[in-house]
Homo-oligomer: A and B are copies of this chain.
């Protein structure tokens, strides 16, 4: 058996502790699979005395993770500190400078500085592994980078945030509103005390930006992602979605169009019998469409100490096996700089819910506003009758640009008979 692979772990939160636990529990199995053992050379965290699921008192300790990353006797540095800048970035740069490979679960950092880091890794002749950064334990990075490597990928989309998927699944099952379900999710530990990062779509946007680069061999472009969160999804819209044969899911979607890339994160309606529509609760799923392989779906637990530790260790095992992979599909210097298509130019179908006064001529006015933008109606539902009172009108359209829809909705909102701002949810054709 070869010499051990020596690792240093920076950050001992739930994922860091879970990784140490996995390495300890499965040391024989991992050594058998790799042909060499993995040795924890050193660890670093803020508080040495903190109560953790694993005893670190016997491990070589560094108060300064950057100093640790520069140690000569290390093969791989595992960065689990988090954050899109600051110490995590310094740790990785120091590791590369010292000629060490890096494994990270840090999606914010990769989404923000992915290209810079990929260049640095490749210049140093080392690997940057980040399977744990997207969809936790689900091997989506590996599937895309290696499992679809011979394909021209046209689209990739997924449910990438378990908190949002849990909230939307629970809203649908229970008929309750967002705020109430969020509250419960926080009590149960499925949502953070500050939920903004998850429910506003930021976390999904980070992950989508990484997947986009990998799928299309282009530079990571977080700024090019259109982002909407799930705070405005109402129980009423979920009810209408069901009635129309749809589910509402927070998706990240990236596709090629007109020489550029579309990237959008939003709650959208998808047909209820699509496989991904039935991915419920805290599960994540990613679908990739390749020109030879067709459609590949991968589903599993997208978060949590154990699944994420599993992904970290997969990358570690890859390091022991000597694979030399470009960070994002192609070498960093060859990543294409593709223009970002603004959301106004993304073409698709729309659902619109209006609160209107129930009186003759209202529908004609709405239909005229759509016609003026050359938007074709697919369906129109008016629920209940209440002459002179407020009623719901629900519309679905055929394909149109985001801009045409924006224009039509501005006209509709100005109508006297329209009592509230229209609620629009895009319908994603999968």
Q: Would A152 and B29 count as touching, CB distance under 8 A?
A: yes
When chains A and B are docked, how far (Å) is the Cα of A314 from the Cα of B292?
11
Q: Is the CB of A296 within 8 A of B139?
A: yes
The B-contacting residues of A in range 31-61, CB under 8 angstroms, are: 32-33, 35
Interface size range on A against B: 35 or more
The 5 A-B pairs of least Cβ separation, nearest first, read: A139-B147, A150-B313, A323-B323, A137-B293, A293-B310
Q: A278-B275, A310-B148, A310-B151 are in contact. Are A297 and B296 (CB under 8 A)?
A: no
Q: Is the CB of B292 within 8 A of A296?
A: no
Q: Which of B30, B324, B329 contacts A150 (CB 8 A)?
A: B30
The 8 Å CB contact of A146, one of B293, B295, B318, is B318
CA distance A29 to B324 in the complex (A): 18
| Distance between A35 CB and nearest chain B CB, rounded to angstroms | 7
A residues 264-293 near B (Cβ < 8 Å) are: 275, 278-279, 290-293
In chain A, positions 330-346 with a C-beta closer than 8 Å to chain B are 330-331, 334
A395 within 8 Å of B by Cβ?
no
Closest chain-B Cβ to A4's Cβ sits at a distance in Å of 16
Chain B residues with CB under 8 Å of A326's CB are 33, 35
Nearest Cβ on chain B to A73's Cβ, whole angstroms = 23
Contacts of A322 in B (CB 8 A): 322-324
Q: Looking at chain A's contact residues, is the secondary structure mostly helix, strand, loop, or mixed?
A: mixed
Q: Is B294 a contact of A301 with CB atoms below 8 Å? A: yes
- What 1/0 flags go to A291-312 for Cβ under 8 Å of B? 1111111111100001101110
Q: Is A317 an interface residue (CB 8 A)?
A: yes
Contact with B along A354-365 (1 / 0, CB 8 A): 000000000000
Chain B residues with CB under 8 A of A142: 139, 142-143, 146-147
Give the one of A18, A22, A143 with max B CB within 10 A. Answer: A143
B293 touches A307 (CB 8 A): yes
Cβ B137 vs Cβ A292 within 8 A: yes
Inside 8 A of A301's CB, which chain B residues have their CB? 293-295
- Contact assessment for A314 and B33 in the assembled complex, using a CB-CB cutoff below 8 Å: no
Question: Cβ of B334 and Cβ of A32 under 8 Å apart?
Answer: yes
Do B330 and A310 touch (CB < 8 A)?
Answer: no
Find out whether the CB atom of A307 lies under 8 angstroms from the CB atom of B323. no
How far apart are the CA atoms of A318 and B131 in the complex, in Å?
Answer: 17
Q: How far, in Å, is A39 (CB) from chain B's closest CB?
A: 15
Q: Which of B18, B137, B296, B317 contacts A138 (CB 8 A)?
A: B296
Task: Indicate if A321 sits at the interface (CB-CB under 8 A).
Answer: yes
Q: Report A116 CB to chain B, min CB distance, Å.
A: 20
The complex places the Cα of A275 from the Cα of B279 at a distance, in Å, of 8
- Smallest Cβ distance from A389 to chain B, in angstroms? 40
A300 and B310: CB pair below 8 A?
Answer: no
Per the bound structure, the CA–CA distance linking A142 and B22 in Å amounts to 21
What are the residues of chain B within 8 A of A139 when measuring CB–CB?
A: 142-143, 146-148, 296
The reply to whether B150 and A314 form a contact with Cβ atoms under 8 Å apart is: yes
Q: A137-B290, A146-B146 are in contact. List 20 more A-B contacts (CB 8 A).
A: A26-B150, A26-B151, A30-B150, A33-B149, A35-B331, A137-B296, A138-B293, A139-B146, A142-B143, A143-B147, A149-B313, A149-B314, A275-B299, A290-B310, A291-B306, A293-B306, A293-B311, A296-B298, A318-B323, A321-B323
